[in-house]
Structure 1
């Protein structure tokens, strides 16, 4: 029984910041602004990790590009408003219930005495995952690659491979999907992975094609500048990003990111 007392205390402690945020006099941010703050903090943390030597150049670049992708994509989110007054009080009243529900689920389904997975167990899990993805590939190979069913399958396969950090396999799957039906957003995803693995030249045709379909997409325009910067053409990157800023609203959430990248150019 004593095992659950510290667990309950930890659950309450984890929810205290939420209660504090709800009662702060400062107005709560909307979802979009909160996302922007989170992603900017992640970028700062990545820079600190690199300076401390805990992250190499390739890992730092790949991580920054992924966070920047989310930052640009978050610009499409609508404002959800703020939480105040009775709504805040209701949320605070629910905090103990949330903690109790979490603790109850853990009592029913949790295994606090279970040791962490060994290397052999993790390796076995990875092997099972490899086998599952191999089965998916076999089934997809039996389909017409231009069918919508195959396209959706290759999209999911690419997402799975990207989640595993296998950029080459993700790109290969997405290339098949995009041949079935072109999508500017997917072309941007391919370009991002190419940039992240240090191949900006491979990203260029994807961005060019995507911009033909969506010339005003801020994410694609940002990536176009990023390709130029990564290719050693800072003047071109500066021109592209300055044009993006000139045509962006004053409150565009991506302005800060673009301005920082401009300031980092040689």
Structure 2
């Protein structure tokens, strides 16, 4: 199957070259340019006549003159086809894929795993080891200390960066349990909304807005929660109020406007 795939890709890549060999040569030269010019002039005369800018006599005389010049245009023979160039192109249709396959058989190694996958696997293993060390260090400090809180925050960001949202939400929850912070609450609420945990997200957002009711991210998440819960009117009211308080240069303003437009 892999060789059939290689042959299909080679045929696709060389298709333009084959079409160039099969297509008859187009005549090039002064006559072709003259024909295009005279045809454009005839079309322009027809438009002027239809618009009433030329009467019948003037139109007929002008058309006759253009047709006379068209017939009098010198004919030029098409440039001769170089047999040698055509032969080289035809040989290339065979030699290029044959050379590519020969080179692959000489240096290729189809059974060796892809290097990027190996590198990604090694990087993932290193990340796992680092996160395991981080967890061990968190467990070695007092559980309610600021050091533990910072460790959970670092772990939550790392897990979210790796796409492990469950582990990230757990780490942010541990950090909030040590000391509640509106910014961290917004991080956790966003993860909870993405996982469909609407009630938990609503509880976190309500508590966080008691601490900082003007925080734009919390206000946006509040509207997002309403939108995901099937209450677009509530979401629109929340986001419109946020938009009114958002400076024109705020980087999140275009995103907010787009979300408003997407509401049903």
TM-score by length of 2: 0.52
Distance in 2 between residues matched to 1:255 and 1:123, nearest whole Å: 39
After TM superposition, the structure 1 = structure 2 runs for residues 93-242 of structure 1, keeping only pairs within 5 Å, are: 117-242=115-240
Offset of residue 252 of structure 1: 4.6
The number of residue pairs the alignment matches comes to 152
Offset of residue 161 of structure 1: 0.6
Offset of residue 230 of structure 1: 1.2
Q: Is the Cα–Cα contact under 8 Å of residues 154 and 177 in structure 1 kept in the other structure?
A: yes
Distance in 1 between residues matched to 2:117 and 2:243, nearest whole Å: 48
Q: CA, structure 1 residues 129+248, in 2 after alignment: closer, same or farther (shift >3 Å)? A: closer
Offset of residue 234 of structure 1: 0.9
Q: CA, structure 1 residues 263+143, in 2 after alignment: closer, same or farther (shift >3 Å)? A: same
SS in 2 for 1:143: coil
Unaligned runs of 5+ in 1: 1-114
Instruction: Give the structure, 1 or 2, with the largest relative contact order (CA under 8 Å, sep 6 or more).
Output: 1
TM-score by length of 1: 0.52
SS in 2 for 1:130: helix
Q: CA, structure 1 residues 236+122, in 2 after alignment: closer, same or farther (shift >3 Å)? A: same
Offset of residue 180 of structure 1: 1.4
After TM superposition, the structure 1 = structure 2 runs for residues 249-264 of structure 1, keeping only pairs within 5 Å, are: 249=247, 252-264=250-262
SS in 2 for 1:226: helix
After TM superposition, the structure 1 = structure 2 runs for residues 44-63 of structure 1, keeping only pairs within 5 Å, are: none
Q: Is the Cα–Cα contact under 8 Å of residues 145 and 176 in structure 1 kept in the other structure?
A: no
Tell which structure's C-alpha radius of gyration is larger. 2
SS in 2 for 1:165: coil
Offset of residue 125 of structure 1: 3.0
